[in-house]
């Protein structure tokens, strides 16, 4: 479907052209007409499907009618990087319309954000915590909001943000149009949707299945040989743009150093880095200054980097859904990509589940130049055993929520 079939305001043509969109993606084909018709929507779509433009375009279309200089659209999203990315999409698509957008999130000065509300910037893209802080101080004017987008609702749930999201919903007028997007629908997300949306239309594309342009391979390896296998794998790979995931920020930091020592231009993205460092890492990775970025799930959630050729899971994620989100960053919008995963025997259950969801057996590979029989170095006596995946999951319940752990 061509974009002019949507009858969008002609002032949006320049932006659509600038973004280089010609044919609408399936989610856009379904969501744009429904949203223009004023319906509340529940969109089941993973990143990489074009879902950002699917909600941004109808909102811009509607904002072009009616008042300026007041905040009429609020987009709530879990991470700062995602907020920046949506903001950039809004800027690109709204080029030449005079509509303004601003981001609101923690870790940076609040003053420009307060001023954005004072100036009545039409679109605010916010993470829940800072938005509520400003609202509590009377600095976030939300009483004119007509369009609310809850993006990546499942991840907001994972990160413990749903109580904050509910407070935000209470703070904006009940007479509004609400669009909610999520890759999966746990009971809590369904509950939020029931409370927040009116007679929503459901739109589903590619329900939690990875883009078919990605090929997957597993590299079974004992835990202590992961680094050796990774470095060997990098040697065999065209390392122009490789995103590597680790389970923790400590492992991300260590791996970045080790990869750097091996001669690659590497950076990392995790919550121990300042906002400025995170932005520089991302910018440098996008521009090609860095070939490799090592990231944790939370930091890299939903990132849209056009040219990623390979995603490597140094550690298997905790859930099948997280795997799908991670590899959603390669093979985007018809480009092909490869996803490599280093797996240990602990990962067996999750791999079975993934293969069920993806309806395919994942290829197991071995590298010729690695001696897999090298024994693990003896453990120092005072180091506790880590335990298997299910024990880790059990232990996690007692730990503070992910959002407080700062991955
Ligand atoms: P998203 O799922 O919103 O993260 O979008 C994934 C990528 O697809 C982004 O790089 C978009 O710029 C791109 N994209 C979105 N819509 C289209 C389209 N209709 N044609 C080509 N690329 C698109």
How much distance in Å is there from the Cα of 125 to the middle of ligand 1?
18
pLDDT of residue 327: 80
Superfamily of domain 3-205: P-loop containing nucleotide triphosphate hydrolases (3.40.50.300)
pLDDT of residue 380: 67
Query: Residues lining ligand 1, judged by CB closer than 6 Å?
Result: 19, 21, 23-25, 28, 47-53, 304, 306, 332-333
Give the position, in ligand 1's atom list, of the atom nearest the Cα of 333: 8
Superfamily of domain 214-364: P-loop containing nucleotide triphosphate hydrolases (3.40.50.300)
For ligand 1, atom 1, the nearest C-alpha belongs to 50
pLDDT of residue 272: 86
CB-based contact 369:232 (threshold 8 Å):
yes
Estimate the crossing angle of helix 51-63 against helix 26-36, to 10 degrees: 30
Total count of residues recorded for the chain: 407
For the chain, where do the domains classified as CATH 3.40.50.300 start and end? Answer: 3-205, 214-364
- Residue 312 three-state SS: strand
For ligand 1, atom 5, the nearest C-alpha belongs to 50
How far is residue 7's CA from residue 103's CA, in Å, rounded to a whole number? 28
How far is residue 36's CA from residue 387's CA, in Å, rounded to a whole number? 51
Give the position, in ligand 1's atom list, of the atom nearest the Cα of 48: 2
123: which strand partners? Answer: 73, 101
Q: Quick count: other Cβ atoms within 10 Å of Cβ 205?
A: 20
Q: Can you give the pTM of this predicted structure?
A: 0.65
How much distance in Å is there from the Cα of 163 to the middle of ligand 1?
30
312: which strand partners? Answer: 244, 340
> What are the 10-residue block averages of pLDDT along the chain, 407 residues in total?
91 91 89 97 85 97 96 96 94 96 96 97 98 97 97 91 97 97 88 96 69 81 96 89 93 96 94 88 92 85 75 90 77 69 94 85 91 85 49 39 42
pLDDT of residue 206: 60
**Rg, Å, the chain Cα set:** 22
- Selection from 199, 204, 152, 162 nearest residue 177 by Cα: 199
- Residue 232 three-state SS: helix
Ligand 1 pocket, mutate which of 25, 54, 55, 324 (most atoms under 8 A from CB): 25
Q: Quick count: other Cβ atoms within 10 Å of Cβ 304?
A: 19
């Amino acid at each position: 479907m061509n974009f002019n079939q949507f009858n969008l305001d002609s002032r949006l043509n320049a932006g659509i052209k600038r973004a280089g969109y010609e044919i609408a993606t399936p989610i856009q084909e379904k969501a744009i007409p429904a949203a223009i018709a004023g319906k509340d929507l529940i969109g089941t779509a993973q990143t990489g499907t074009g879902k950002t433009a699917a909600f941004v375009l109808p909102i811009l279309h509607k904002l072009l009618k009616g008042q300026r200089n007041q905040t009429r659209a609020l987009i709530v999203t879990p991470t700062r990087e995602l907020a920046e990315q949506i903001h950039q999409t809004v800027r690109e698509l709204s080029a030449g319309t005079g509509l303004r957008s601003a981001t609101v999130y923690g870790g940076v000065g609040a003053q420009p954000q307060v001023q954005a509300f004072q100036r009545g910037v039409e679109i605010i893209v916010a993470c829940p915590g800072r938005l509520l802080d400003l609202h509590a101080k009377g600095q976030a004017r939300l009483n004119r909001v007509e369009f609310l987008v809850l993006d990546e609702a499942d991840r907001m749930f994972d990160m413990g943000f749903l109580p904050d999201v509910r407070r935000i919903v209470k703070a904006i007028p009940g007479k509004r149009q609400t669009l909610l997007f999520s890759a999966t629908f746990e009971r809590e997300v369904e509950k939020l949707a029931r409370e927040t949306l009116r007679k929503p239309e459901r739109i589903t594309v590619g329900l939690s299945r990875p883009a078919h342009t990605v090929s997957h391979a597993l590299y079974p390896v004992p835990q202590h040989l992961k680094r050796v296998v990774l470095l060997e794998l990098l040697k065999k790979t065209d390392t122009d743009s490789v995103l590597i995931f680790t389970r923790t920020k400590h492992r991300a930091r260590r791996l970045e150093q080790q990869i750097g020592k091996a001669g690659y231009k590497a950076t990392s993205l995790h919550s121990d880095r300042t906002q400025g460092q995170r932005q520089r890492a991302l910018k440098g990775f996008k521009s090609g200054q860095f070939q490799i970025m090592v990231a944790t799930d939370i930091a890299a959630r939903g990132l849209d980097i056009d040219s990623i050729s390979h995603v490597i899971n140094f550690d298997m994620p905790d859930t099948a859904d997280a795997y799908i989100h991670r590899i959603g960053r390669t093979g985007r919008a018809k480009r092909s990509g490869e996803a490599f995963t280093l797996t240990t025997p602990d990962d067996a259950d999750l791999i079975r589940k993934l293969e069920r969801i993806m309806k395919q057996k994942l290829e197991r590979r071995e590298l010729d130049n690695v001696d897999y029989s090298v024994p693990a170095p003896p453990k120092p006596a005072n180091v506790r055993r880590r335990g298997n995946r299910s024990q880790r999951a059990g232990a996690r319940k007692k730990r503070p929520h992910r959002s407080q752990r700062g991955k």
